[in-house]
């Protein structure tokens, strides 16, 4: 059981170098097995293969024998605020003294940036103050760092405001909070059509007590 299975699989896949380092924790699923493995990288040869270590108790509980060479391995890991997803092929295994899988170097790599702040969808009535005009609309998603604000296009046209990426003030109520909340921010993105205008707003200098209120609101939505 301690030998390396050397029936390596030939395949023609475009490989992409990714930020995978020794000690990196990752999750993955092997083709044919209904379990998500939590493991970490213990070795590699750049552009050739990686070696991952699986906890022995997990292996004993879920595998009667080493997974067959040639099965696919779908994995993911996080590095510097980015989630990397990838595919590998099982090339071999070791079961003594540790449980190790030799995987082909990752291919079919996908990346997804993580947000700096958790964001939740919502529908909060809010007033937008911009260029001496005050308009009624709604916050449609919210985080500690910013929000998406939506208002009807006809309201914007009636206000006479010429849109630009500029500073604004947003005033709104949150459930369970008796006093109103006012936050200053900068417009970072504008999208519009005949019906609606949406602003991507980044908050500026949010007071700690208001930031805590927003955090509690977000946590209540997640629950």
pLDDT tens, residue by residue, 75-93:
998 876 678 899 999 999 9
CA distance 217 to 181: 13
What's the sign of the alpha-carbon dihedral 182, 153, 147, 165?
negative
> Region 194-216: what's the mean pLDDT?
89
pLDDT higher at 222 or 75: 75
Of 114, 30, 120, nearest to 79 by C-alpha is 114
- Residue pair 19/80 in contact (Cβ under 8 Å)? The answer is yes
Rounded CA gap, 55 and 114, in Å?
28
SS3 115: coil
pLDDT of 41 reads 92
Q: Which residue has the higher pLDDT, 19 or 215?
A: 215
Q: What is the pLDDT of residues 134-177, one digit of tens each?
A: 999 999 999 888 999 999 999 888 887 766 667 899 999 887 67
Report yes or no on whether pTM surpasses 0.75.
no
* pLDDT at res. 15: 56
Domains in the chain (CATH in brackets) are: 25-113 (2.30.110.10), 120-222 (2.40.10.220)
Cα 40 to Cα 7, 48, 49, 68, 90, distances in angstroms: 23, 17, 14, 20, 15
Instruction: Give CA separation, 25 vs 41, 53, 79, 136, 166, in Å.
Output: 7, 10, 10, 47, 42
């Amino acid at each position: 059981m301690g030998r390396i299975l050397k029936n390596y699989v030939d395949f023609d896949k475009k490989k992409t170098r990714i930020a995978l380092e020794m000690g990196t924790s990752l999750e993955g699923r092997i083709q044919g097995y209904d379990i998500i493995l939590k493991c970490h990288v213990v070795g590699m040869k750049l552009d050739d293969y990686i070696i991952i270590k699986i906890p022995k108790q997990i292996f004993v509980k879920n595998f009667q024998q080493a997974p067959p060479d040639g099965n696919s391995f779908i994995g993911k890991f996080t590095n510097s605020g980015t989630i990397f997803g990838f595919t590998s092929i099982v090339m071999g295994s070791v079961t003594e003294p540790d449980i190790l899988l030799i995987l082909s170097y990752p291919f079919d790599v996908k990346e997804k940036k993580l947000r700096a702040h958790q964001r939740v969808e919502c529908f909060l009535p809010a007033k937008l103050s911009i260029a001496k005009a005050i308009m009624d609309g709604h916050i449609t998603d919210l985080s500690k760092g910013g929000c998406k604000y939506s208002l009807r296009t006809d309201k914007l046209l009636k206000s006479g405001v010429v849109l630009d990426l500029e500073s604004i003030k947003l005033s709104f109520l949150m459930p369970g909070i008796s006093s109103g909340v006012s936050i200053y921010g900068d417009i970072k993105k504008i999208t519009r059509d005949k019906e609606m205008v949406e602003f991507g707003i980044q908050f500026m200098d949010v007071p700690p007590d208001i930031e805590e209120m927003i955090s509690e609101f977000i946590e209540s939505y997640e629950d």
